[in-house]
């Protein structure tokens, strides 16, 4: 069965620190991978996506993620976080059956 | 486009009452998803439709939950009877299959349900 695991439930960082949020999925076929972000009081919105090609994808606001097929991982990174990055981050996987499953989310808190 | 529109934004009801949540997807989108968000379980997929047809409802918690999509511009999620453990934010999202960006979901603002 298709599933997504996000290892960190709550991450607290100081401004300018580097960020890496883990995401692992289980599905044997071709997948499309996503990171969505939910800022306080707002809709979920797309941060970045991987469909094919270069496994290192860049998204909005300086975020990037790397697809490592052998590890079934799609970790999210940002070299230097800002207070405005405070939000909840969701990893998602789409299988060939068009089903889009989300991880449980990681809450990111940034200390000013 | 006004985006994905959900109603009501907030609903407070008593245990045992029927709850109906509504969603209008983006015009032209032909896939629609219902998700439930709670602190404990995160974002769970309840059901999704392609071209108004339910494809996978394995995430629907139990028979008290039902969803319909009578046409391309409207879907409902119904809970009857409601229970306190149904309290959550329910999100609707849509996308357009068959194009390059088909897998990118556009979410509505959510319906926050509180069952007392």
Instruction: Find the mean pLDDT for residues B8-20.
Output: 96
Interface size, chain A vs chain B, as Cβ–Cβ contacts under 8 Å: 53
SS (H, E, C) chain B: CCCCEEECCEEEECCCCCEEEEEECCCCCCEEEEEEEECCCEEEEEEEEECCEEEECCCCCCCCEEEEEEECCEEEEEECCCCHHHCEEEEEEEECCCCCCCCCCEECCCEEEEEC
What is the pLDDT, as a whole number, of residue B34?
Answer: 97
- Per-residue pLDDT band at B41 (split at 50, 70, 90): confident
What is the pLDDT, as a whole number, of residue B102?
Answer: 63
End-to-end CA distance of chain A: 41
- Per-residue pLDDT band at B24 (split at 50, 70, 90): very high
Q: Which one has a higher pLDDT value, A97 or A20?
A: A20
- Per-residue pLDDT band at A95 (split at 50, 70, 90): confident
Q: Shortest CB distance from A104 goes to which of B42, B48, B91?
A: B42
Q: Name every residue in A having a CB less than 8 A away from some CB of B.
A: 32, 34, 36, 43-46, 49, 51, 90, 92, 94, 97-105
Token reading at A28: 């044997």
In whole angstroms, give the CA distance from residue B71 to residue B27: 11
What is the pLDDT, as a whole number, of residue A18?
Answer: 97
Chain A residue nearest residue B40, CA to CA: A104
Instruction: Show which of residues 51-110 on chain B sit within 8 Å of chain A, judged by CB atoms.
Output: 55-56, 91, 93, 97, 100, 103-105, 107-110
Q: How would DSSP label each residue in B54-68?
A: EEE-TT--STTEEEE
In whole angstroms, give the CA distance from residue B40 to residue B43: 9
pLDDT of residue A80 exceeding 90:
yes
pLDDT of residue A10 exceeding 80:
yes
Instruction: Find the mean pLDDT for residues A92-104.
Output: 85
């Amino acid at each position: 069965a298709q599933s997504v695991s996000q290892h960190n439930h709550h991450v607290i960082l100081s401004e300018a620190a580097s960020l890496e949020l883990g995401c692992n999925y289980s599905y044997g076929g071709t997948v499309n991978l996503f990171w969505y972000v939910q800022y306080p009081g707002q809709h979920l919105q797309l941060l970045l996506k991987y469909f094919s090609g270069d496994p290192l994808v860049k998204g909005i606001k300086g975020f990037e993620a790397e697809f490592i097929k052998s590890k079934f991982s799609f970790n999210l990174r940002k070299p230097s976080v800002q207070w405005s990055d405070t939000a909840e981050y969701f990893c998602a996987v789409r299988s060939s059956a068009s089903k889009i499953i989300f991880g449980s989310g990681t809450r990111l808190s940034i200390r000013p | 486009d006004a985006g994905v529109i959900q109603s009501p934004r907030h609903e407070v009801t008593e245990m045992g009452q029927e709850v109906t949540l509504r969603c209008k997807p983006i015009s032209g989108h032909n896939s629609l998803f219902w998700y439930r968000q709670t602190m404990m379980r995160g974002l769970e997929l309840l059901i999704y439709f392609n071209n108004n047809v339910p494809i996978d409802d394995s995430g629907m918690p139990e028979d008290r939950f039902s969803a319909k999509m009578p046409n391309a511009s409207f879907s409902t999620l119904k809970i009857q009877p409601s229970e306190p453990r149904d309290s959550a934010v329910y999100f609707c999202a849509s996308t357009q299959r068959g194009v390059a960006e088909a897998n990118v979901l556009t979410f509505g603002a959510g319906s926050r349900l509180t069952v007392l």
